[in-house]
């Protein structure tokens, strides 16, 4: 075993799941940077590492040092001190000030900051305000040093240690000692595997009840990530036992204890995490209660003569189905309006609004995402809010609108309902008063919500709610190949892929993955902007998968290099974020008021403060270096993440390399995101395969059954 002291220069690759990393490090005595590999997750650039390991020659990548164990140490060289100070760990010092400070104080730099910080005023252009900021940050660093040293003994990186300290502060060591698995519950970014690694180093046995409990919760959360609201007991025990590599008996015992302590809820022989149980059960009861309140229909509103909704402004006549839908909305307490592209959902919604307005009803409009709400506003001429904004959510108080402080109005119309998961739906239902009408609009054939549940489908399938399905494709929509091909695919037919000058749908054959990447770059950067005038920022690449050559991860790196190769930047986790980059938020952050799937642009990068600013629909949101794991590049995004969004131009690879994900509703969803132009790149074999795959993965949900259970039937 060899000891290697090094400074992290660049992170080439990191696997977020298992922590395996490839990085370039500077080692004394070596002219060139050394490749370091091993389990080094979240080690930031600038860190000084003391690594135990061995040299190895990889047949493909050449000589590298493979780490067995490592720890972070304070830097002892001028180079190391400069890198350390410029890494963003100390607020007020970026790379430029780090260079200036080290140039002035040399090897005494750390001692000066520690014991005589006012001497920093000797550094040119470093004023008192910045010095005070550095002092505060350094004092905080001193506070967490003990925590850092303790955690590093268990292989926890600086960035994760900082997150742990922010959560628990001076109780950090006690909390970790008490139960390291609590980290996975409390801190985003620290998953079960990280917590389990710490616990293992602390001597936890495989069958430890705390470990079994954490494994069960992890398995339930993993199922929720896949859309399931609950787990079958045997399914859960099997998943947890496999994850933990533990014996079945202690896992079953831990589950029984968790049921007793209400850590999980057993209902009708299935297991729920408490929030999902209350959300599903509560949503059903709220819907039933809403349907049961018929006082509305004894009101003056219902007794008024039928509104003049047969003709729109401009003299366009609603067809019979649309007129029936508008009438159904007037007659129903709760109604679902569903249909594919070009079937007139927007037009019908406008008609429903006009009919409500004719009866002097006050109307609220909402959608799950900012983009969907913006489109709804543009289509109706009325303000539509995100559901979070409608419910007046803030991180401190939660949802201000609830059963004690309900929404005010006569009717609520919610668009893009296929995106709504069970937790959000429950919070919405809690805020709807008994005298309000509810209209749910969405395309049932799209992918279900990213979050757990299958709300819209379950409501339709329950047959307890009035449903209007729009199926006729309007004449103006029939001229769109995007619309016609989407419907063909949805019906299980191969689409018309004949290219031509007057079409909005193109298919380009390409089998080789590397050539496909080059082709996509050429389309986004050159061909489509030149031909149709759309700038690259209005062209969205959608892909079935995250991984692989034509997965979102690699395509983002390639597209960034092609479209935005230079400029001010910050690096984290193997990715570089530059000013001008298109990015996506990948978790709900209620403190920042940004949500999973929101797309924005990096409009400012501060390399001194190690922060960047992202603009989301005119809102400015700041991220520091430790928060960059919440965003990803979004030149390319997965089709799942594109729900609720529309883009002028969509480019979508379809290859057999994605066969695991190729499903009819996935391709349908991807195509229907395109407003003006859709280009598929790949093979007809892969497209045909996807169209045949219509076995939509079943989600474990019981909303349908709960709506039918003791349901107060409502005659629509």
Q: How does DSSP assign 45-86, residue by residue? A: TT-EEEEEEEEEEETTTEEEEEEEEEEE----SHHHHHHHHT
- Band of residue 275 on the pLDDT scale cut at 50, 70, 90: very high
HSE-up of residue 193 (Cα within 13 Å, Cβ side): 11
The strand pairing partners of 571, in sequence order, are: 576
Q: Which of 76-85, 96-105, 196-205 has the lowest mean pLDDT?
A: 76-85
Look at residue 349 in the predicted model and tell me its pLDDT.
93
Strand ranges across the sheet with 265-267: 230-231, 270-272, 265-267
Q: What percent of the chain has pLDDT over 70?
A: 92
Give start and end residues of each alpha helix (H) in 261-363: 274-292, 300-303, 320-331, 345-358
580 touches 539 (CB < 8 A): no
| Residue found under tokens 């905080």 | 140
Rg of the chain over all Cα atoms, to the nearest angstrom? 28
- Average pLDDT in the chain: 86
Query: How would you write 6-21 as a 3-class SS string?
Result: EEEEEEEEECCCCCEE
362 touches 356 (CB < 8 A): no
Cα angle vertex 572, ends 592, 547, to 5°? 95
Cα angle vertex 23, ends 22, 27, to 5°? 135
DSSP class of 448? -
- Band of residue 307 on the pLDDT scale cut at 50, 70, 90: very low
- Band of residue 319 on the pLDDT scale cut at 50, 70, 90: confident
**φ/ψ of residue 36, rounded to 5:** -115, 130
The whole-angstrom separation of Cα 26 and Cα 17 is 26
| Residue found under tokens 């080439």 | 12
- Are β-strands 636-638 and 539-543 bridged in parallel, bridged antiparallel, or unpaired? parallel
Strand ranges across the sheet with 619-624: 619-624, 611-616, 599-606, 582-585, 631-633
- Are β-strands 398-399 and 393-394 bridged in parallel, bridged antiparallel, or unpaired? antiparallel
Give start and end residues of each alpha helix (H) in 441-574: 455-462, 475-478, 481-490, 513-522, 528-532, 552-563
Complete DSSP assignment for 652-670: EEE-GGGTTT--HHHHHHH
Would the pTM count as exceeding 0.85? Answer: no
HSE-up of residue 38 (Cα within 13 Å, Cβ side): 22
In b/e form, how buried is each residue of 35-45, taking b as 16+ CB within 10 angstroms? bbbbebbbbbb
| Residue found under tokens 């990096």 | 602
Q: Which of 32-46, 125-139, 242-256 has the lowest mean pLDDT?
A: 32-46
183-203: pLDDT as tens digits: 887 887 777 888 888 888 888
**Which token pair is 282?**
């509560």
List of long-range contacts for 165-171, beta carbons under 8 Å, 24+ apart: 170/143
Look at residue 710 in the predicted model and tell me its pLDDT.
57
Look at residue 472 in the predicted model and tell me its pLDDT.
85
- Are β-strands 647-654 and 539-543 bridged in parallel, bridged antiparallel, or unpaired? parallel
**φ/ψ of residue 360, rounded to 5:** 60, 35
Look at residue 168 in the predicted model and tell me its pLDDT.
86
165 touches 123 (CB < 8 A): no
Look at residue 19 in the predicted model and tell me its pLDDT.
66
**Which token pair is 155?**
């292989």
pLDDT over 70 at 206, yes or no: yes
């Amino acid at each position: 075993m060899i000891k290697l002291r090094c400074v992290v220069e660049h992170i080439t690759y990191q696997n977020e799941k298992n922590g395996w990393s490839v990085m370039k490090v500077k080692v004394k005595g070596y002219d060139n940077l050394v490749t370091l590999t091993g389990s080094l997750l979240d080690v930031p650039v600038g860190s000084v590492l003391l690594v135990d390991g061995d040299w190895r020659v990889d047949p493909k990548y050449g000589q590298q040092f493979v780490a067995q164990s490592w720890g972070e140490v304070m830097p002892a060289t001028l180079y190391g001190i400069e890198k350390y100070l410029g890494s963003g760990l100390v607020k007020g010092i970026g790379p430029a000030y780090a260079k200036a400070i080290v140039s002035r104080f040399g090897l005494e730099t750390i001692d000066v900051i520690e014991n005589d910080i006012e001497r920093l005023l000797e550094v040119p252009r470093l004023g008192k305000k910045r010095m005070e900021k550095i002092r505060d940050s350094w004092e905080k660093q001193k506070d967490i040093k003990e925590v850092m040293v303790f955690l590093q003994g268990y292989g926890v990186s600086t960035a994760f240690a900082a997150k742990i300290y922010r959560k628990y502060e001076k109780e950090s060591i006690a909390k970790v000692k008490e139960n390291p698995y609590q980290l996975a519950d409390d801190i985003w970014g620290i998953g079960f595997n990280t917590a389990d690694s710490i616990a293992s180093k602390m001597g936890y046995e495989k069958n430890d009840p705390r470990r079994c409990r954490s494994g069960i919760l992890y398995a339930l959360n993993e199922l929720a990530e896949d859309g399931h609201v609950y787990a079958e007991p045997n399914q859960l025990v099997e998943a947890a036992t496999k994850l933990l590599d533990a014996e079945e008996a202690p896992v079953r015992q831990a589950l029984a204890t968790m049921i007793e302590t209400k850590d999980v809820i057993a209902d009708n022989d299935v297991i729920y995490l408490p929030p999902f149980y209350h959300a599903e059960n509560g949503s059903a009861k709220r819907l039933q209660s809403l349907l049961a309140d018929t006082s509305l229909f004894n009101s003056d509103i219902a007794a008024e003569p039928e509104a003049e909704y047969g003709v729109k402004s401009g003299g366009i006549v609603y067809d019979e189905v649309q007129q029936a839908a508008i009438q159904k909305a007037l007659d129903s307490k709760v109604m679902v309006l569903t249909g594919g592209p070009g079937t007139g959902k927007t037009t019908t919604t406008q008609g429903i609004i006009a009919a409500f307005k004719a009866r002097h009803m006050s109307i609220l409009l909402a959608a799950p995402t900012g983009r969907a709400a913006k489109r709804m506003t543009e289509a109706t001429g009325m303000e539509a809010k995100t559901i979070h904004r409608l419910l007046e959510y803030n991180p401190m108080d939660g949802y201000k609108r609830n059963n004690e402080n309900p929404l005010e109005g006569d009717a609520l119309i919610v668009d893009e309902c296929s995106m709504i998961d069970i937790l959000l739906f429950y919070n919405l239902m809690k805020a709807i008063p008994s005298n309000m009408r509810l209209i749910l609009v969405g395309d049932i054939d799209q992918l279900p919500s990213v979050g757990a549940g299958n709300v819209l489908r379950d409501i339709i399938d329950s047959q307890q709610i009035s449903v209007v399905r729009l199926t006729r494709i309007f004449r103006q929509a029939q001229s769109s190949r995007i619309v016609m091909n989407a419907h063909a695919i949805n019906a299980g037919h191969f689409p018309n892929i004949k290219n031509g000058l007057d079409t909005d749908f193109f298919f380009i054959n390409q089998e080789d993955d590397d050539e496909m990447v080059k082709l996509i770059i050429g389309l986004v950067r050159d061909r489509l902007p030149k031909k149709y005038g759309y700038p690259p920022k209005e062209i969205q690449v959608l892909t079935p998968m995250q991984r692989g050559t034509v997965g979102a991860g690699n395509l983002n790196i390639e597209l960034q290099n092609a479209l935005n190769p230079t400029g001010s930047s910050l690096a984290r986790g193997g990715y570089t974020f530059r000013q001008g980059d298109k990015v996506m938020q990948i978790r709900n952050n209620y403190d920042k008021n940004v949500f999973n799937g929101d797309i924005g642009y990096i409009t400012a990068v501060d390399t001194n403060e190690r922060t960047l600013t992202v603009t989301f629909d005119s809102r400015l949101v700041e991220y520091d270096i430790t928060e960059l794991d919440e965003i990803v590049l979004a030149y390319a995004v997965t089709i799942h993440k594109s729900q609720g969004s529309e883009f002028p131009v969509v480019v979508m690879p379809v290859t057999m390399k994605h066969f695991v994900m190729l499903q009819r509703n996935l391709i349908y969803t991807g195509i229907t995101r395109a407003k003006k132009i859709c280009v598929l790149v790949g093979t007809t074999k892969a497209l045909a395969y996807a169209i045949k795959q219509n076995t939509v993965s079943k989600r474990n949900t019981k909303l349908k059954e709960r709506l039918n259970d003791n349901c107060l039937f409502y005659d629509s």
